[in-house]
Amino acid sequence: MNHSSDDIPIIEAVPNFSEGRRTDVIDELATAVQRSGARLLDRTSDADHNRTVLTVAGPPEPVLQGLFNAVGVAVARIDVRRHRGVHPRLGAADVVPLVPIRNTQLADCALLARQLGRRIGDELDVPVYLYGEAATGRERRNLADVRRGEYEALVRDIHDPRRTPDFGPAKVGPAGAVIVGARPILIAFNVFLRTADVAVARAIARRIRERDGGLTAVRALGLLVDGQAQVSMNLVDYGATSPHAAVEAVRRQGALHGVALDRSELIGLIPAGALPGLVKPDTEGEGESLSASALAAAAKKLLLPDLSPDRVLEVALRQL
């Protein structure tokens, strides 16, 4: 997908699907999203979370069509009634956020999210909720509020006026609901602790997350992943709280419990500006490229053992 004009709008989408174990289904999702011509920049799956995150980018039309294709696969192939994983979920295609990248604004992505949400509800016959900048009410801006109680609560409460879908039917089938929205760039970032005590991870998450008086723009949960405690974070404004600041906060809180940090994990891509000491690369392939030594130094500070250049957003965007 090579574009000659700098005027072409580019958006990113980071759909999260409630499947991280069946490779055939994950492959179908990845293939479906690319069939329209959208570019798949990254795919990350985790068996304990039982979740797959795809990072997709391109002009709005192929991206929206690719997302619709992939949601269709999820609705057909994932039964949330049988889904078990440590990550909260409301449906098979759990959340589909749109992110402005180039020549687009958040308001543009909100309009596109509503367009996609309406099509999913009408053509795939599943309930759709809008969140973030696309939300129809203040009470639905926060993803955690929309997903509260997960699939099981939605089955029980779908006819409550407060849970009326924005699009699609007020009924819950095996695929659950889809949450579609618009938001700025978010960094999904997890820190593993050297303990199997999930209570410690939960205590740390409570201390560092914004809603409980912790770090600005940090959402956090304490989870048990493959027998190891994990502090799972979404950094919704990395300019307010960087990944390095989050790691150090987890380190300080862990020390109070006598627990050291093991390693970190990046889900999807990370902007160069969020990496400590890194020069931001030019997305058009000109100017200073990523220094291997600088990238290694940033990875060391963030406890990211497998950070490669293609996990940096600006580098991945050069594919467009």
Q: What is the domain partition of the chain in residue ranges? A: 10-182, 187-319
Q: What is the pLDDT of residues 134-153, one digit of tens each?
A: 999 999 999 999 999 999 99
pLDDT at 5 over 70: no
Main-chain phi, psi angles of 223, to 5 degrees: -130, 160
| Cβ neighbours for 49, distance < 8 A, ≥ 6 positions apart | 20, 85, 86, 87, 223, 225
What pLDDT was estimated at residue 278? Answer: 66
pLDDT at 92 over 60: yes
C-alpha 178: how far from chain center:
14
Per the prediction, the chain carries an average pLDDT of 94
Query: Dihedral sign, CA of 287, 290, 291, 294?
Result: positive
**Side chain identity at residue 319, one-letter code:** Q
Instruction: Round to whole Å and give the CA distance between 210 and 220.
Output: 8
What pLDDT was estimated at residue 83? Answer: 96
pLDDT at 285 over 50: no
Instruction: Round to whole Å and give the CA distance between 79 and 252.
Output: 40
pTM listed for this prediction: 0.92
pLDDT band (50, 70, 90) for residue 1: very low
Do 10-182 and 187-319 have matching folds? no
Q: What is the pLDDT of residues 189-209, one digit of tens each?
A: 999 999 999 999 999 999 999
What pLDDT was estimated at residue 3? Answer: 46
pLDDT band (50, 70, 90) for residue 230: very high
Instruction: Round to whole Å and give the CA distance between 75 and 177.
Output: 9
pLDDT band (50, 70, 90) for residue 280: low
Main-chain phi, psi angles of 301, to 5 degrees: -65, -35
Element (DSSP H or E) covering residue 273: none
Superfamily of domain 187-319: Formiminotransferase, C-terminal subdomain (3.30.70.670)
Catalytic residue among 3, 49, 87, 244: 87
pLDDT at 232 over 50: yes
Give the mean pLDDT of 41-57.
97
DSSP single-letter state for residue 290: P
3-state DSSP percent of the chain in helix, strand and coil, to 5: 40, 25, 40
What pLDDT was estimated at residue 306? Answer: 85
Across 103-236, the runs of DSSP E, i.e. the strands, are 128-132, 178-182, 187-193, 218-225, 228-235
Query: In this structure, what token pair is assigned to residue 61?
Result: 């039309």
With contact defined as beta carbons under 8 Å apart, do 246 and 274 qualify? no
Q: What is the pLDDT of residues 152-192, one digit of tens each?
A: 999 999 999 999 999 999 999 999 999 999 999 999 999 99
Range of weakest confidence among 117-121, 170-174, 285-289:
285-289
87 tagged catalytic? yes
Query: In this structure, what token pair is assigned to residue 89?
Result: 């979920």
Architecture of domain 10-182: 2-Layer Sandwich (3.30)
pLDDT band (50, 70, 90) for residue 239: very high
